[in-house]
Structure 1
Amino acid sequence: MTRPDDIALDQEALALPTPEQQAQAVIDRFLDWATDPRLAVLDTETTGLGPGEQVIEIGMVDLEGRPLMNQRVRPTFPVPAGATAIHGITNEDLKDCPTFDQVWPRLWKLLQTHRVVVYNGAFDFNRIADSLNAALPGWYQGDGGPSELLQAWNALIPPMQRDGCVMEAYAPLHGEWNAWHGSYRWARLSAACAERGVDTSDLKAHSALDDARATLRLIRAAAQLTPEQLPWIGREDEA
């Protein structure tokens, strides 16, 4: 005899999304981005990878891959040789470039008027904040409380950073399950593009504008996938 609580459990199980539905939900996130006319893809190059490092190049493209911003920025301290070895940007390249406070109004307007996505949003937005701290000390302080800019930042950037991180969204497509953490491992942009057959032969790696274009191409490629191509999603317990 079936008990009422058994029936409730059966109904709950029936309500759970199937692996195919879970895979489609992942794809739909990319499809949503790929069809949104307000979309903009951001990337930066920096003086380094850790806290306190600064943005030295900003690239942003629209949904069609057209540049919205392609700007180098002079930081408040010299670019370390190790960073130059990665992106090729030297102190000589930056000596006549504007400082971050000079380019900030334009960047802030773009962030406010577009749906911005980033490959590794936490990194780029943290370095933007570090650059603000260096170029506009105290930008977050107002009279007796948070500044208007900080309030606007807190309303806009954390949701954008959370909902617009292409690296996080792509992790299930990469398909490398980490049972210890109960999540999918991230993939480098270059690896993700290679997996999806994205042609980046005309792009320069570690160029902010070209990495933004590569991310856009990855979004378009991921939006064309089908659940049948991602059979591991929703079956993580079997891994």
Structure 2
Amino acid sequence: MKQNQTQNEPKIQRCKRCKKRARMEEVNLCPFCYEKKCKEIEKEYEQSKQLFRKWYLRRDWLVLDTESTGGGREDEIIEIGITDAEGAILFESLVKPSQPIPKRTTDIHGITDEMVQDAPTWSEIWPEVGSIIQGKTVLMYASDADIMMIRRTCKKYQLPLISYDPRCVMKMYKQLHRDERFVSLTRALEQKEIEYIPSHRATSDCEGLRLLVLSIGAQLMEEG
């Protein structure tokens, strides 16, 4: 026993990865739960790496992004974009909503009431959109928002939902960096030094996400 450590002092816990002192009090976990959490993080990290590699090699996935009137229960989609893994635009359209677009959301994506005045309705475009994504792996950034808006807009217009495989790249990006925080698409592109600035329009965000996925996949393939 070290001279400056008494018998009653707790043993210093050290991280099994870096050997630094593990401060469990900062995450409010006991040593057992902290170790379990670390294992879960490592598992998610490996799963994310495998998927990014797979998507780099097998480019049979799609990218989808939507813009909406807001995030509330009565809000709806006003723009949707879908591209393939090579960047080809499979579908792109503004959508005429049944309500005015609030200024606070126009300030984000720049879409105004005048822009959607002559656009098709969701009922008119959904059959084509559904046929494109049905049965496909569809990558999104912050997918919960897009999935929710698709469901709510379909419900609003009494349209049937279709089956597809949505994947959230924002969540996977967080797991890949073993981080507790989510970052925006713009920030993720900056961190990967990808010279592309998405404009908060649907197909622009699709392209940013596509570049991010392929860049990460290429890096992981080089690392082996």
Question: Fold conserved (TM > 0.5)?
Answer: yes
2:182 pairs, out of 182, 186, 195, with 186
Residue 30 (structure 1) shift: 1.0
Q: Deviations over 1:8-60 (max 9, x none)?
A: xxxxxxxxx8x988755422211212232321100011111233321111011
Q: Deviations over 1:65-88 (max 9, x none)?
A: 110111110011010011111111
Instruction: Give 2:101's aligned residue.
Output: 79
Matched residue SS, 1:225:
helix
Percent identity, aligned pairs only, is: 30
Residue 172 (structure 1) shift: 2.3
Unpaired segments ≥5 residues, structure 2: 1-38
For residues 186 and 222 of structure 2, the distance between their equivalents in structure 1, rounded to whole angstroms, comes to 24
CA contact (8 A) 1:44 1:57 kept: yes
Instruction: Give 1:165's aligned residue.
Output: 168
Residue 227 (structure 1) shift: 10
Q: Deviations over 1:105-136 (max 9, x none)?
A: 01100111532111111110110111112222
Please list every run of at least 4 consecutive aligned residues from structure 1 whose deviation after the TM superposition is greater than 4 angstroms.
19-24, 226-229
For residues 26 and 37 of structure 1, the distance between their equivalents in structure 2, rounded to whole angstroms, comes to 16
Instruction: Give 1:236's aligned residue.
Output: none
| Structure ID, larger Rg | 2
> Quick one: which amino acid aligns to residue 224 of structure 1?
A
CA contact (8 A) 2:53 2:220 kept: no
Matched residue SS, 2:219:
coil
**Which structure is higher in RCO with an 8 Å CA cutoff and minimum separation 6?**
1
Structure with greater helix percent: 1
> Quick one: which amino acid aligns to residue 27 of structure 1?
K
Instruction: Give 1:98's aligned residue.
Output: 120
Q: Does the C-alpha gap of structure 1 residues 20 and 75 become closer, same or farther in structure 2, counting only changes over 3 Å?
A: closer
Alignment: residue pair count: 184
For normalisation by structure 2, the TM-score amounts to 0.74
Residue 192 (structure 1) shift: 0.8
Q: CA RMSD in A?
A: 2.5
For residues 209 and 117 of structure 1, the distance between their equivalents in structure 2, rounded to whole angstroms, comes to 13
Instruction: Give 2:70's aligned residue.
Output: 48
For normalisation by structure 1, the TM-score amounts to 0.70
